Amino acid sequence: MNEKSFWLGKTFDDFLFRPQKGITESRRNINLASKLTNSIKLELPIVSSNMDSVTGSDMARTMAMDGGLGVVHRAMSIERQARKIAEVKRSQSAVIENPLCLPIDATIRQAKNFANKNNITGILIETEPGSGILVGLLSGRDIPWNNNVNEDLVSQYMTPVDKLITEKPGISTDEAAAILFDKRLERLPLVDAERRIHGLITRKDIFSLRERPDASKDEKGHLLVGAAIGAHGDYLERSAALLDAGADSLFIDIAHGHSSVMESAVSNVRKQFNDVSLVCGNIATGEGAQFMKDIGADAIKVGVGPGRGCRTRLETAAGVPQLQAIREAYETIGDSIPIMADGGIKTDKDIFLALICGASTVMLGSALSGTDEAPGQIIEDPVTNTKKKIYRGMTSPQAVLGSLYESENGDEIDAALDTPSEGQEIQMPYKGSVVDILHRIRGHIQSSVSYAGEISLAAAREKILSDPERYLISLSESSRRESFDR
Ligand code: XMP
């Protein structure tokens, strides 16, 4: 990119695009499909950030249900992160292949803890630990919440197998749905003639599958989920556990991705898990994008310092204005591997600009924070009577300390405490469910595509990407005021 470039120093508030003749009857039919990697497609090109105030299992599940993707953060133990991945993978498919079971001699206290920990409402009961032979089902309604009976055995409260309706493995989703609805059942265990458990179908999953044709799913019908790993310490062990739990894509996420640390991490992960889908970042230059492509990333995360919780540019002066960075990356590697624009999205128009300047997907942190699905408690301010949730950069002192609670590695703790912060914590207004935010974003991108005179995001992207100076208008200070001051 030369010093006269149209893009130099430019970011989201520096452009509008020239409206084109609209050609759609209804904006709501506009298709927004895009690529996370060359082999993973998303119907909604939105990805939730791998931050501890943005993406845990609730957020990841909701993102995938709505056609996007959630990337579960890594500021926790390997076991906990793997459990969160497994929760998402288990939550949405016609058949839960390895339903969670408790043995018949478990107590009600154990069942309550088990249900809480795994976020489930019904537990299959087996003859003995690991036998896989069904003896009953303990549904949420069967579990007494009276604490006096905590030491009673689950066998006293479960529905025994001879009173349960079960089906054979291999039943079709439609047949299972008919049985669940006709017999008003919540769950249908799949067992063979020896009562060996082969799966579980739930009414809730069938409902959601039918209602969400755009959900992001793997070939078995399970929701897609991403998982963050680092490039130091336990990342290989973490990768193994996350892939085992079903992660569809690993995000090697470090602040300065254009580095030898990234190079050796990618090489080591590839050596051990050859065909894993790897999204790598962050970089902010054409050279960084070329580097990522050369070392074998399947997608590249672009963004150094634009994020709402970031202090990198303030503290180090390193960074590239975000639209310039996206365009530089695109001009260098084109569509050979997809680019994810990460950070700095303040309004929905920024998402469309990122997409038509070179990104295939857009990662959002603060825009999705403060919601029910984001981890963390709602804080009620007694003075203003307003509700808030915390949003914090992952290198903020608060996030660093939070992540260390689960670490037993003294060197890691010392190193983290010794690294000056490049992030900050912010109180976000509480926003309700992220579903409403995703609905709004989808509608706004569809409207942008319509103004761009196309019937799909892919077509709008292709048209504008090939000749951006024809379609984009660079704004003056006064036109910026006219456009955005309200
Ligand atoms: P937004 O603007 O969507 O940005 O809230 C989310 C992205 O910010 C990045 N991130 C950080 N960057 N210091 C940084 O410089 C941090 O502590 C930090 N934490 C998150 C990250 O790329 C995220 O997706």
Separation of CA 206 and ligand 1 centre (Å): 36
Positive or negative, the CA dihedral 336, 265, 222, 192 is positive
Q: Give, using CA atoms, the residue closest to atom 18 of ligand 1.
A: 393
Residue of 54, 371, 394, 427 best suited for mutating to test ligand 1, as the one with most atoms within 8 Å of CB: 394
Q: Tens digits of per-residue pLDDT, 398-439?
A: 888 777 766 666 777 777 777 777 888 899 999 998 999 999
Cα 423 to ligand 1 centroid, rounded to whole Å: 8
Between the CA of 315 and the centroid of ligand 1 the distance, in Å, is 14
Q: Best substitution site from 48, 51, 251 to test ligand 1's pocket, by max atoms within 8 Å of Cβ?
A: 51
Determine if ligand 1 sits within 6 Å of the CB of residue 226.
Answer: no
Domain ranges for the chain = 3-91+216-484, 101-211
Contact 422, 307 (CB under 8 A): no
Q: How many angstroms separate the alpha carbon of residue 10 from the centre of ligand 1?
A: 19
What pTM, to 2 d.p., does this model score?
0.81
Q: 277 exposed, middle or buried (CB, 10 Å; 0-12, 13-18, 19+)?
A: buried
Q: What are phi and psi of 329, to 5 degrees?
A: -60, -45
Q: Which of 11, 48, 49, 400 to mutate to test the pocket of ligand 1 (most atoms within 8 A of CB)?
A: 49
The pLDDT mean for the chain works out to 92
CB 115 within 8 A of CB 102: no
Tokens of 111: 């069942």
Q: How confident is the model at residue 128 (pLDDT cuts 50, 70, 90)?
A: very high
Choose among 318, 307, 305: nearest CA to 344. 307
Amino acid letter for position 251:
F
Q: Do domains 3-91+216-484 and 101-211 have the same CATH topology?
A: no
Q: How far is the CA of 429 from the centre of ligand 1 (A)?
A: 18
How far, in Å, from the CA of 181 to the mean position of ligand 1?
45
- Non-local CB neighbours of 139 within 8 Å, separated by 6+ positions: 121, 122, 159, 186, 187
Return the best residue to mutate from 252, 310, 391, 441 for the ligand 1 pocket (most ligand atoms within 8 A of CB). 310
Per residue, what are the HEC states of 204-236? HHHHHHHHCCCCCECCCCCECCEEEECCCCCHH
Residue 359 Cβ contacting ligand 1 at under 6 Å: no
Span 262-294, pLDDT tens digits: 999 999 999 999 999 999 999 999 999 999 999
Q: Taking 90 as the threshold, does the pLDDT of residue 133 lie above it? A: yes
* Ligand 1: nearest atom to the Cα of 343: 4
Mean pLDDT within 113-125: 86
- The number of the ligand 1 atom at minimal distance from the alpha carbon of 303 is 22
Q: Which fold has domain 3-91+216-484?
A: TIM Barrel (3.20.20)
SS (H, E, C) the chain: CCCCCCCCCCCHHHEEECCCCCCCCCHHHCECCEEEECCEEECCCEEECCCCCCCCHHHHHHHHHCCCEEEECCCCCHHHHHHHHHHHHHHCCCCECCCCEEECCCEHHHHHHHHHHHCCCCEEEECCCCCCEEEEEECCCCCCCCHHHCCCEHHHCCEEHHHCCCECCCCCHHHHHHHHHHCCCCEEEEECCCCEEEEEEEHHHHHHHHHCCCCCECCCCCECCEEEECCCCCHHHHHHHHHHHCCCEEEEECCCCCCHHHHHHHHHHHHHCCCCCEEEEEECCHHHHHHHHHHCCCEEEECCCCCCCECHHHHHCCCCCHHHHHHHHHHHHCCCCCEEEECCCCCHHHHHHHHHCCCCEEEECHHHCCECCCCCCCEEECCCCEEEEEEECCCCHHHHHHHHCCCCCHHHHHHHHHCCCCECEEEEECCECHHHHHHHHHHHHHHHHHHCCCCEHHHHHHHHHHCHHHHEEECCHHHHHHHHCC
Name the burial class of residue 163, with classes exposed (0-12), middle (13-18) and buried (19+) by CB atoms within 10 angstroms of its CB.
exposed
**What residue owns the CA closest to ligand 1's atom 20?**
393
* Residue minimizing CA distance to atom 15 of ligand 1: 310
Atom number, ligand 1, closest to the C-alpha of residue 306: 2
Answer for the pair 401, 286: CB distance below 8 angstroms, yes or no: no
Q: Ligand 1 in contact with 93 (CB < 6 A)?
A: no
Whether 250 has a pLDDT exceeding 90, the answer reads yes
Q: How far apart are CA 84 and CA 60, in angstroms?
A: 9
Contacts of residue 446, Cβ cutoff 8 Å, sequence gap at least 6: 27, 28, 30, 32
Pairing of strands 40-42, 34-37: antiparallel
Q: Is the pLDDT of residue 208 over 80?
A: no
Q: Is the CB of residue 310 below 6 angstroms from any atom belonging to ligand 1?
A: yes
In the annotation, is 357 catalytic? Answer: no
User: How sure is the predictor about 202, in pLDDT bands with cuts at 50, 70 and 90?
Assistant: confident
Write the single-letter amino acid at 120.
Answer: I
Q: Is the CB of 422 under 6 A from ligand 1?
A: yes
Residue 78 Cα to ligand 1 middle (Å): 22
Nearest by Cα to 209 from 91, 98, 101: 91
Answer yes or no: are the C-beta atoms of 82 and 123 closer than 8 Å.
no
Which whole number is the average pLDDT over 96-102?
87
Ligand 1 lined by 367 (C-beta under 6 Å): yes
Query: Can you give the pLDDT at residue 408?
Result: 65
* 450 CB within 6 A, ligand 1: no
Determine the Cα–Cα distance for residues 398 and 26; give it in Å rounded to an integer: 46
Nearest to 70 by CA among 227, 215, 250: 227
User: Is the pLDDT confidence value at 461 over 90?
Assistant: yes
Residue 281 near ligand 1, beta carbon < 6 Å:
no
What tens digit of pLDDT does each residue of 152-172 get? 999 999 999 999 999 998 888
* Domain 101-211 top-level CATH class: alpha beta
Q: Assess whether the C-beta atom of 364 lies below 6 angstroms from ligand 1.
A: yes
Q: Which two tokens stand for residue 278?
A: 């790897």
CA of 329 to the centre of ligand 1 (A): 19
Q: What is the pLDDT of residues 354-385, one digit of tens each?
A: 999 999 999 999 999 999 999 998 888 888 88
Sole residue written with tokens 């992001």: 216
312 lines ligand 1 (CB under 6 A): yes
pLDDT value of position 221: 80
pLDDT score, position 170: 82
> Across-strand partners of 389?
428
Q: What is the pLDDT of residue 197?
A: 94
- Cα 441 to averaged position of ligand 1 atoms, centre (Å): 20
Mean pLDDT of 197-204: 88
Cis omega (within 30 of 0) for bond into 98: no
Q: Find out whether the beta carbon of 158 lies less than 6 Å from any atom of ligand 1.
A: no
What was the pLDDT predicted at 93?
A: 61
Q: Which residue has the tokens 């303040």?
A: 346
**Cβ of 423 less than 6 Å from ligand 1:** yes
Q: Whose CA is nearest to atom 2 of ligand 1?
A: 307
CB atoms within 10 A of CB 194: 8
Q: How do residues 296-342 score in pLDDT, each as one tens digit?
A: 999 999 999 999 999 999 999 999 999 999 999 999 999 999 999 99
> CA 195 to CA 292: how far, in whole Å?
51
Q: At which residue do the structure tokens 């989808």 appear?
A: 442
Q: What is the mean pLDDT of residues 39-46?
A: 98
Out of 42-46, 56-60, 382-386, which region has the weakest mean confidence (pLDDT)?
382-386
Mean pLDDT computed over 95-116 = 89
- Identify whether the C-beta of residue 290 lies closer than 8 Å to the C-beta of residue 297: no
Q: How far is the CA of 69 from the centre of ligand 1 (A)?
A: 17
